[in-house]
Amino acid sequence: MIDKLIDKIIELQNPTCVGLDTDFNYLPDEMRQDITTFEDASERIAEFNMNVIDKVCDIVPAVKVQIAYYEMYGVAGLRAFEYTVNYARGRGMIVIADCKRNDIGSTAGCYSKAYLSKTDVGGKKLKAFPTDMLTVNGYLGFDGIKPFVEDIKAHDKSIFALVKTSNPSSGEFQNLKLENGKYVYEYMGELVSKWGEDTIGKYGYSDVGAVVGATHPEEAARLRAQLPHTFFLIPGYGAQGGSAQMLKVCFDNRGLGGVVNSSRGIICAYKNPQYSGMSYSEAARAACIDMQQDLAGVIGKMGR
């Protein structure tokens, strides 16, 4: 699936994904009126997402849907998550489910079936959430990752394992030094590379990718040098403080190697004076174009 994502990145000359971290309070005032139930709120969130997807699907290769923003609305929120996933895929976009799943082997296998595979019900194999990619947490070790790796091989999917995250306190654990002198995040990167070594595609990147935050360029540069076959999912651009110049180190000399996520900077762009007078979906499109141009200015032509 990483090859398919890279194909779209090259086709659109755009290494970005829109983060649909859609809090109800991000919606315009008129969409939040007369809402009193989770069901009502979730329907409006799905409507908001649909209109954003319609406006950006021809210029952006992927969306990242953060499930926490849907779980907080209960079952109704999960229906909005499912609708958003299906709608984005129907519009030709690659869908990354941002769920950061992990557990012991058998339970991890259940999570993997939910997002990457199928579940056996009465002799039928049924899909729960038909996403293309999933974020996972590898800090429980390989037995918690193995089911995901097996499923991406069997079903042409991909995963992104947390390696160096974008949050300010990530260094409390990830930047600890081991006895061999390596940082914890570097060792995790080595494991991620090993887990994906037999899934490397035509562009030289494996289907086991890494989450590497734009807000930590020094660590990102070290990881890119150490992990030439690992594709990065790069959060932290825009609202979290990451810039195009900071994340340039995540890419190879072909302008490939990562996909950059922006959430609030896109879905809340209509609140920015820069996009005054636009609808929320028009502002989202304009912000996507500005982001693409910003990245192209430092990365250059993709696939060269």
Residues annotated as catalytic (active site), given as ranges:
100
Which residues, other chains included, contact 105 with Cβ-Cβ below 8 Å and sequence gap of 6+? Answer: 143, 144, 146, 147
Place of tokens 């939040």: 32
DSSP state of 148: H
Say which amino acid occupies 59.
Answer: I
CB 21 within 8 A of CB 153: no
Phi, psi of 15 (to 5 degrees): -90, 50
Strand, helix or coil at 31? helix
Half-sphere exposure of 3 (CA within 13 A, CB side): 8
Q: How far, in Å, CA of 43 to CA of 290, rounded?
A: 29
Strand, helix or coil at 70? helix
CB 130 within 8 A of CB 114: no
CB 61 within 8 A of CB 17: yes
Say which amino acid occupies 60.
Answer: V
Report the length, in residues, of the chain. Answer: 304
Q: How far, in Å, CA of 258 to CA of 209, rounded?
A: 9
Q: How far, in Å, CA of 30 to CA of 255, rounded?
A: 41
